[in-house]
Chains A and B, each alone.
Chain A
Amino acid sequence: MRKLAFFIPFVLFIGLSVFLFSGLFSDPMERESSVLNKPLPAFTLPDLQQPDNLWTAEKLKGKPYLLNVWGTWCVTCNAELAYLTELREQGVMIVGLYYQQPSDAAFGEVFNLAALQQEVALKLEQQGDPYQWNILDKDRTLIFDLGVTGAPETFLIDAKGIIRYHHIGDINPQVWQQKLAAAYQSLEE
């Protein structure tokens, strides 16, 4: 009994150390997405380059694809464009969901669609264009319904419009191989 009591603080110390040590390698941004295995929320949003063309959740059904949330203001999105373009060349269908940041009226910012279209076209020309088309979410309504916290984030959506995977952060060869490739291929079949 005495000996046991002697070891209790030691065991507690080891337990605490292991707990804190594992914390060093855990990602605080990683958490279960609440939209997983649910259908893409209903929306009606314009195409970025052809605003007369309205996209809905219904129109996007029929083929598995990646829904990539991005913006020209987002540095990491910029960095993943090249790899996403490679994926497109391999036959992966990628739809862009353009994350428009709020214009700050206090700084005299006004939303200008033509300027944005030009900026996006230029960016995609320089970095590579992975997108079949871009959906413009000016007021971040679909982005809000998808539980997006920032950009870039990517959703894997199956042919029936069900969200199968939610990835926060950029897509690089490692992430694609480890997390998304298998899931995408299983949906393709």
Chain B
Amino acid sequence: MKAFFLSLLLFTATAQASQALIEFQSPEQQALFKELTQELRCPKCQNQNIADSNAVVAVDMRNKTLELVQQGQDKEQVLEYMKSRYGDFVHYQPPLNKFTLILWLLPALMAFGLVLVLLLRRKAERNAVAMESGDKAQPQQQLEQQLDQLIEQYRRKS
């Protein structure tokens, strides 16, 4: 059993060692490559970025990203290169256009609706309190009047 776990350990060690090391000309390029591979989405797999996926197309995109970054292209240029081939789908940050407008509008609309509901509810509550105190005041006075009348009646009788 022990040998089995040891061999597992060995296996992971060799698996890690087989990943190629990439050398960058500058730390900025390394950061850009990391950022891009995390923001670009693998078009074959559903919902994995290309840093995370080993699908053939993801590996190709990673290599292309590296090539473009090493050529000195900036983030926008690389994104444009990918989008012109694989569409807006390939970037996790969707652009603002008529199809995606709802993504920006919906939260605002929901916040607006929430505020509206709260305001209406508060107003209704205030009305209810006012009505309740009004309702109570009225019979109290009437009852007292009736009581006074009764006392008056009994006084006269006696």
Q: Which residues of B contact A (CB under 8 A)?
A: 18, 43-44, 46, 55-57, 59-61, 64, 83-87, 89
Contacts A34-B87, A144-B64 known; A150 to B18 CB distance under 8 Å? no
The complex places the Cα of A18 from the Cα of B91 at a distance, in Å, of: 28
Q: A28-B46, A106-B18 are in contact. Are A147 and B56 (CB under 8 A)?
A: no
Known pairs A140-B60, A147-B86 / 10 extra A-B pairs, C-beta < 8 Å: A31-B87, A33-B87, A34-B86, A35-B85, A102-B59, A106-B18, A145-B85, A149-B57, A150-B44, A150-B55
Query: What sequence of 0s and 1s flags, for each residue 80-109 of chain A, a beta carbon within 8 Å of any chain B beta carbon?
Result: 000000000000000000000110001000
Residue contact B85 to A144, C-beta cutoff 8 Å: yes
- Selected A-B contacts with CB under 8 Å, 22 pairs: A31-B87, A31-B89, A32-B87, A34-B85, A34-B86, A35-B85, A102-B56, A102-B59, A106-B18, A140-B56, A140-B60, A144-B60, A144-B85, A147-B43, A147-B85, A147-B86, A147-B87, A148-B57, A149-B43, A149-B57, A150-B44, A150-B56
Give A residues with C-beta under 8 Å from B: 28, 31-35, 101-102, 106, 140, 144-150
Closest residue of A by beta carbon distance from B14: A106
Chain A residues with Cβ below 8 Å from B44 are 149-150
Q: How far is the CA of A140 from the CA of B59 in the complex (A)?
A: 11
Which residues from chain B contact A145 at a C-beta distance below 8 Å? 85
A-B interface, 4 closest residue pairs, ranked by CB to CB distance from nearest: A147-B85, A34-B87, A149-B43, A149-B44
Given contacts A28-B46, A102-B59, A144-B64, contact A149 B86 (CB under 8 A): yes
Minimum distance in angstroms from A149 CB to a CB of chain B: 4
Q: Which residues of the partner chain B approach A102 to less than 8 Å between Cβ atoms? A: 56, 59
B56 and A101 within 8 A (CB): yes
- Residues on A with beta carbons closer than 8 Å to the beta carbon of B18: 106
Q: Distance in Å from the Cβ of B26 to the closest Cβ of chain A?
A: 26
A5 smallest CB distance to B (angstroms): 9
CA distance A72 to B124 in the complex (A): 71
